[in-house]
Amino acid sequence: MTSMIGETLGHYKILDKIGAGGMGEVYRAEDTRLKRQVALKVLPTEMAENPDRLQRFQREAELIASLNHPGIVTIYSVEEVEGLHFLTMELVTGQTLGDLVPTGGMTLDSFFAVAVPLAQALAAAHDKGISHRDLKPANVMVTSEGQVKVLDFGLAKLRVASDSGDQTQMATEALTQEGLVMGTIPYMSPEQLEGRPTDHRCDIFAMGILLHEMVTGERPFKGQSSASLISSILRDRPHSVAEARSDVPRQLDRVIQRCLQKDPERRYQQAKELRIDLEDLPTEMEPAEASQPRSVAVLPLKDMSPQKDQDYFCEGIAEDIINALSKVGELRVASRMAAFQVVEKTTDPGEIGERLAVETVLSGSVRKAGNRVRISAELVNVSDSALLWSERYDRELEDVFEVQDEISENIVKALQVTLSPKERKAIQHQAAVDVRAYEYYLRGRNLFHRGTKKTYERGLQMFDQAIEIDPNFAAPHAGIADSSSLLYLYFDKSDANLERAEEASRKALELAPESPEAHASRGLVLSLLERSEEAAESFETAIRLDPKLFEAHYFYGRSCWQQSKLQEAAHHFERASEVRPEDFQSISLLSSVYLGLGDSEKARDCHRRAVEVIEKHLDLNPNDARALYLGSGALIGIGETDRGLEWAAKAVEIDPDDSAILYNVACTYSNAGRLEEAIDYLERSVSKGFASKEWIVNDGDFEPLREHPRYLALIESMD
């Protein structure tokens, strides 16, 4: 089309050209009748010459014109002059969103100033049944007065609707038309790219991409070509925006991640839900400092009782305080495992702080006699050994929960951490519990943490005793679910274990529906039952209730891996490793996931990180077979084959009949190229009870064995 600048269409004088797109060229024009300037969009000839398409377009344009919202550019009219069909619209001057986003992202104030009205406009249109279908920075304008305006609302839908309706063809054209790669594909939803049926939720996906870009300055999905970009959108899990910027609150990260779910069913189902969350976020955000969060290690309390038989009680109280403090967003708490192990090497606060990378340490003691208990606690700053807070409690035994709550609250006060109402509630005991049942529960947890078949079984007896005393105490039901699940997973694949875990997890949730631990326990059971979708819902709920719950991320990662959802598995293993940096399991399994994804560089990096973590762990626990066999695989991964095989041999010596040890040693030998020995160990593992065919088939460590006759025969025998 030749330039129309200076020409007159009816009572519109064309002043200059301001843009062009799939729906035609756009001009700034003067409406000589109403004495106002408008945006005038001339429709493509192929649309204007097709009567059916034109009639349908006019009907749809009239519907869009009915939108009356300050954040949506208004369509004034659909007109025809001398065979030219055009739209007249509100003229908006200002900057596009693409012009406004700086390198590194917008400030949070600027972000919300745009994100909230943008979501409001989207919700208003969706309420009228109108989708955008081409939401991108070029279609969002911000005026000099700060007013957000969405351009071309619904026009992409009109373009598609007036075609044959073949969504696959539309997607194909989008990939081949010059100029659309930078403007359309980066903001398309997976269902649009695959040519599947679409609805308003594709706008929500595009909104997630915009929000991510506004916060970080970069889109979540990238590629050097249209094909690699499409692959990224379809397969990659976006990185957390909170990882990119320390001042971004985790609530906003969750909002963006929910928008970017591949499955439309897992996104926000209505734009108004997104609008509400974005509107509420500025007032609900917990304080987010650019500096690192405050940090604390809670050490096991010393047993000062005359009989020295209260280790379970001392450790249990400390563990409960750890669990409570871990629910505070702006507080980093060393895990139970790390804190309890470090005291075996040193009690010096400075050295503990250095080993655990924390700035404060809580220590104390318990003296229990009859129905009386004395608990002393003190919080010390590790840099100068300054006492930040201390207290001694002389109470009746049934007051132990109140004492734990007071200790947690005083630590938070001493560290000057501000609690949200939700966090204040989370760190307190919510239900009355019989203290005798609580003692049995602590005995069970003490046994559970030892992690052997015998201690799991003895722990179950303790949990049973707790429930007999107090049937409404949810925690021991969750303890039974976890113990039975891990017995099934590592030692005994009996239906009885799985059935007991399923029943106990249901009961725990019934008694404590807001407990993230109960939801995580339920997720593990459901994953073992291969009820994957239900398991995902349970894990997602647990993470929503407590984003720092290690078990939810770790077992969600295992569940995803078993289903060959490797990108999702990688995400959750990464999150588990972030939540608990000293854990060697998640980082070790992550290396295998990356091998399965074909990313050898990331896998090797995980191997290096795993070796570092495991060496520190073995310094405190030299006979930990799981650390040895996972470490052996990591050593093979970084080229230290001889040392890796030594660790593997030592793990087998500790327990030569343990199916989990044998399985993982098989992985080590497979990666070392010792294929016959690898199959020997794999066969022994299966004979000793390892029964997860899916796990073997999806484990990247066994790639060298895939075509081996003995491997194929073993897999066939497991059908």
Q: How far apart are CA 194 and CA 182, in angstroms?
A: 18
Q: How far apart are CA 326 and CA 331, in angstroms?
A: 7
On whether the 294-426 domain is CATH 3.40.50.10610, my answer is: yes
Cα–Cα distances (Å) from 553 to 548, 570, 714, in that order, read 8, 10, 31
Q: How far apart are CA 253 and CA 515, in angstroms?
A: 22
Total residue length of the chain: 719
pLDDT value, residue 164: 39
CATH of the domain spanning 582-719: 1.25.40.10
Q: What are the residues facing 298 on neighbouring strands?
A: 362
Q: Which two tokens stand for residue 158?
A: 């009109």
DSSP string covering 139-174: GEEE-TT--EEE-STTHHHHHHHTTTS-HHHHHHHH
C-alpha angle 424-427-428 in degrees, rounded to nearest 5:
95
Burial per residue of 400-420, b for 16 or more beta-carbon CB atoms within 10 angstroms, e otherwise: bbebbbbbbebbbebbebebb
On whether the 8-48+74-89 domain is CATH 3.30.200.20, my answer is: yes
Active-site annotation, residues: 134
Q: How far apart are CA 615 and CA 624, in angstroms?
A: 11
Q: Domain boundaries in the chain? A: 8-48+74-89, 95-284, 294-426, 513-568, 582-719
Identify the CATH class of 513-568: mainly alpha
pLDDT value, residue 37: 94
According to CATH, the topology of domain 95-284 is: Transferase(Phosphotransferase); domain 1 (1.10.510)
Q: Chunk the chain into consecutive blocks of 10 residues (it has 719) and report each block's average pLDDT, rounded to whole numbers.
A: 78 88 78 92 75 71 78 87 85 90 88 94 88 89 89 56 37 34 71 88 95 93 87 86 77 89 89 89 57 76 76 76 75 79 78 83 80 81 82 75 71 68 62 79 84 86 92 90 87 87 92 89 92 90 86 90 85 87 86 84 89 85 86 90 92 88 90 91 87 78 88 86
What is the arrangement of strands in the sheet containing 148-150, beginning at the earlier edge strand?
95-96, 140-142, 148-150
Whether 513-568 and 582-719 share one fold: the answer is yes
Cα–Cα distances (Å) from 375 to 236, 347, 383, 405, in that order, read 50, 19, 25, 13
pLDDT value, residue 32: 92
3-state secondary structure of 673: coil
pLDDT value, residue 553: 92
Q: Beta strand pairing status for 372-381 and 360-369? A: antiparallel
Cα–Cα distances (Å) from 677 to 119, 646, 672, in that order, read 59, 14, 10
- pTM (predicted TM-score): 0.55
C-alpha angle 82-87-92 in degrees, rounded to nearest 5:
135
Chain centroid, CA 317 distance in Å: 29
Q: What are the residues facing 331 on neighbouring strands?
A: 294
> Shortest CA distance to 483 belongs to which of 445, 526, 535, 537?
445
Q: How far apart are CA 199 and CA 260, in angstroms?
A: 15
Count other C-beta atoms under 10 Å from residue 150's C-beta: 24
pLDDT value, residue 177: 36
